[in-house]
A and B are shown apart, each in its own frame.
Chain A
Amino acid sequence: MKKRDPDLLLAHAPLLRQGMTTPSVMRDVLIALAPATAASMWFFGLSAILVLGACIGGAVAAEWLFADKQARGDSLRDASGILTGLLLGLTLPPGLPLWMAFLGGFVGIALGKVIWGGLGHNLFNPALLGRAFLLATFPIAMTTWVPAVGDGGFLQIYPGNLALPFMQAQVDAMSAATPLGLMKFEQEVTPLANLMFGKTTGSLGETSGLLLLLGGVYLWLRRDLDWRIPVSILLTVVVFSAVLGLFDAERFPTPLFSVFSGGLLLGAIYMATDPVTSPVTPKGTWIFGIGTGVLVMLIRVFGGLPEGVMYAILLMNAATPLIDRYTQPRVFGRGGDTK
């Protein structure tokens, strides 16, 4: 008897793929953030776990609630919701009431992603949109910074964390100022070593510059990251501060201080590089990075706020479609320069 031929598929070439998938990229970013996240737990104890958990919970809840039934598994599987929650949490003050953190995560996904049409369609970085929402709604809680618990206080919880919804958060007796706040309002410079290793006041994820850089190098090695964006942002900030330093070295921050203080590394490596909300063209990413760097320095030095990374990135997010439109690559064989 004649053997039957196998049923043949007619899938179109190319049949080969590089191994990376969108969820694997998201997972890599989570891995890259692990050291900085662990450090936040070291410095801020149980509060860090609670605040990060609340943010991720809020983000995933929104993701689950607004996805339609069939697509629910998909939108959770790509891990982008978890990443948004974690990134948001890392930008928040450790003493923030947990319900606010949860709300921030929820709003970040709902207004930052879902209403735009889901992953890939949003204009603004969802984590930063969530943070902007919190800053506008709860300005006092969002600018109340607590000093790190230091060693041995892992089980300590900042009393602010447990405030009930819509009740006046207790004013924290232990409040302190961030290095950027000290710089701006009291002309006090924090030693660089503290900035690098994390012994400073600040949001959960921004205290340890070196661990954030380490994660960035990991992402670069894994080719998950468009290196142009962090490089152009950081270079711009360095050049900008160096030029300012020429005018008045006393008044303006040094380049290294500028790089390691505040949320710059977190923003430049993990948020500005969000592929969805940054330009897709190589030339565009340079413009995006330089623009972000300039805005950060303008807000920090000349604006009313001590920190400007969030607004700088959000503003450049808004400019992204325009940048993309005017930086379309030159087509092969059509003259002009490459790139």
Chain B
Amino acid sequence: MKAFRRLRRNFEHGVHPAHHKQQTENLPIQRVPFGKDYIMPLGQHIGIPARAIVTAGERVLRGQMIAEPGGFVSTSLHSPVTGTVKEIGDFRGVDGRFAPAIAIEADAFATQQVDAGTSIDWEAMSQEEFIEAVQMAGIVGMGGAAFPAHVKLSVPDGVRIRSLLINGAECEPYLTTDHRLMLERPEALLEGAEIMRQKLGAEEAVIGIEANKPDAIEIVQKHIQPGAPVRVVPLKVKYPQGAEKMMIKSVFDVEVPAGQLPRDVEVNVNNVGTIVAIADYFLRGMPLIERVVTVAGPGVTYPANLIVPLGTPVRDVVQFCGGLKPGTREIVMGGPMMGRPIASLDVPILKGCSGVLVFTEEQTARRREYPCISCGRCLEACPYFLNPSRLARLSKSRMFDEMKAYNVFDCVECGCCTFSCPSNIPIVQLIRTAKDDLSHRKEPDA
């Protein structure tokens, strides 16, 4: 039975949204021309915000470090353009709140060339030096979480990493950044994989790719040197195949125990974009100053896969794609299942932003909510085997404490429950409300 399950390369439950990738999957990555204004928020990764090390009026070069890590769980920032620091102040962020950021005005006549080509002798580096180098390169998880990459590399004593798992699932509909990267830069991916594998001391690197990208599977497979400890594992097309614990279950048939990390099952998971960023830094000396972004959705005139310098306002990106179509109702950063809506076109592209999706009436129409009829579809959708129906009921009654007994904190907010609900109940939103309330609640003084 177990052997049979392994053949299926699958995790249990999950949902099958239409993948909508036709819009951009065949469009080569192109570069967005440089604009004028760039905004680099200091807290664009998970953890402590970075600390600015430049002052207003200072001239900066593209690729120059402008902010240093604020602590261990923090990373550095580099200027995406050659230009002048205009201001260090509060700017509106993706979540709508004002937060400290460095505003840079690009030099109109700069070539915007990076002093590239200088590879770094990573092989000679010790483990600590390597981790510090990754932190100094500003590399974070590029799949969307933006968790500093070096933190995952620092494995405590006694823990061994057996496999480096590279996440090429890209299970969110519409997004095609990882897909295009694998097609266009398979060498960089494999180079980065080798660096990471060696530095982690892992036996093998495994690249998990959803089966709806047969071209990517083929190309990556073709580039693997015979005998190299790398293999490609095609995965069933299912959301959320790219959630790291789901992918570990699919590839290795192991469940990461609740509350623990992939390293507890001897696996390190990294996104395709992160691995390419590693290769770009160690082989070409380029820190994280730009990323690939999919601009798609029914409201965008010319969908595209773009290399966008970090800090570029969404407005410039959208304009490059021919602007918004009439009837645009909502813009989401990230995928349609877990992305975040933005309130203004002036917010910048961040390290964790894999997509700018423009939606119209059809996706955003207010859906009439019906009572829960306990059909159980959400239970069969939840990849964590929670009882979303019960959680939503409790949340509606504001019985947040009771929700802990139903493991509300195991929820990763993938949205499968809301997707599957025939009564249009905003289940995951109700769960988020409860989690927020529970985690921000002040404990009474003892």
Inside 8 A of B385's CB, which chain A residues have their CB? 329-332, 338
The answer, among A10, A18, A276, A332, for a CB contact under 8 Å with B410, is: A332
CB–CB A11/B336 < 8 A? no
A296→B423 CA distance, assembly (Å): 32
CB–CB B374/A16 < 8 A? no
Q: Does A24 contact B (CB under 8 A)?
A: yes
Inside 8 A of B415's CB, which chain A residues have their CB? 13-14
A334→B368 CA distance, assembly (Å): 36
CB–CB B410/A23 < 8 A? no
CB–CB B344/A281 < 8 A? no
A15 with B373, Cβ < 8 A, contacts A331-B386, A333-B260, A334-B258 known: no
Q: Does B406 contact A (CB under 8 A)?
A: yes
Residue-by-residue, is B10-24 near A (CB-CB < 8 Å gives 1, otherwise 0)?
A: 001001011000000
Q: Does B341 contact A (CB under 8 A)?
A: yes
CB–CB A8/B370 < 8 A? no
Q: Does B131 contact A (CB under 8 A)?
A: no
Residue-by-residue, is B303-325 near A (CB-CB < 8 Å gives 1, otherwise 0)?
A: 00000000000000000000010
- From A18, A21, A74, A332, residue with most partner B Cβ within 10 Å: A332
Minimum C-beta distance from B36 to chain A (A): 15
Q: Does B270 contact A (CB under 8 A)?
A: no
Residue-by-residue, is A320-336 near B (CB-CB < 8 Å gives 1, otherwise 0)?
A: 00000000111111110
CB–CB B373/A276 < 8 A? yes
In the complex, the chain A residue whose C-beta lies closest to that of B323 is A3
In the complex, the chain B residue whose C-beta lies closest to that of A118 is B371
Residue-by-residue, is A251-283 near B (CB-CB < 8 Å gives 1, otherwise 0)?
A: 000000000000000000000000110111110
CB–CB B374/A329 < 8 A? no
A282 with B376, Cβ < 8 A, contacts A8-B342, A15-B364, A119-B371 known: yes
Residue-by-residue, is B413-440 near A (CB-CB < 8 Å gives 1, otherwise 0)?
A: 0010011111110101100100000000
Inside 8 A of A25's CB, which chain B residues have their CB? 373, 375, 422
Q: Does A6 contact B (CB under 8 A)?
A: yes
A121→B419 CA distance, assembly (Å): 22
In the complex, the chain B residue whose C-beta lies closest to that of A21 is B422
In the complex, the chain A residue whose C-beta lies closest to that of B246 is A332
What's the tally of chain A residues with a CB closer than 8 Å to chain B? Answer: 43
Inside 8 A of B17's CB, which chain A residues have their CB? 14, 16, 18
Inside 8 A of B344's CB, which chain A residues have their CB? 5, 8
Inside 8 A of B383's CB, which chain A residues have their CB? 332
A14 with B428, Cβ < 8 A, contacts A9-B364, A282-B376, A331-B407 known: yes
A333 with B370, Cβ < 8 A, contacts A6-B324, A16-B18, A22-B423 known: no
Minimum C-beta distance from B380 to chain A (A): 7
In the complex, the chain B residue whose C-beta lies closest to that of A274 is B373
Q: Does A12 contact B (CB under 8 A)?
A: yes
CB–CB B338/A14 < 8 A? yes
CB–CB A18/B15 < 8 A? yes
CB–CB A275/B374 < 8 A? yes
Q: Does B343 contact A (CB under 8 A)?
A: yes
Spell out B's residues near A (CB within 8 Å): 12, 15, 17-18, 96, 173, 245, 255-260, 324, 328-332, 334-345, 359, 363-364, 367-368, 370-376, 379-380, 383-387, 389-390, 406-407, 410, 415, 418-424, 426, 428-429, 432
Spell out A's residues near B (CB within 8 Å): 5-6, 8-18, 20-25, 74, 78, 118-121, 226, 275-276, 278-282, 285, 328-335, 338
Q: A14-B415, A17-B367, A120-B373 are known contacts; what are 12 more A-B pairs with Cβ within 8 Å?
A: A6-B328, A8-B330, A13-B337, A13-B341, A15-B330, A15-B359, A16-B17, A21-B424, A22-B423, A25-B375, A275-B373, A328-B387
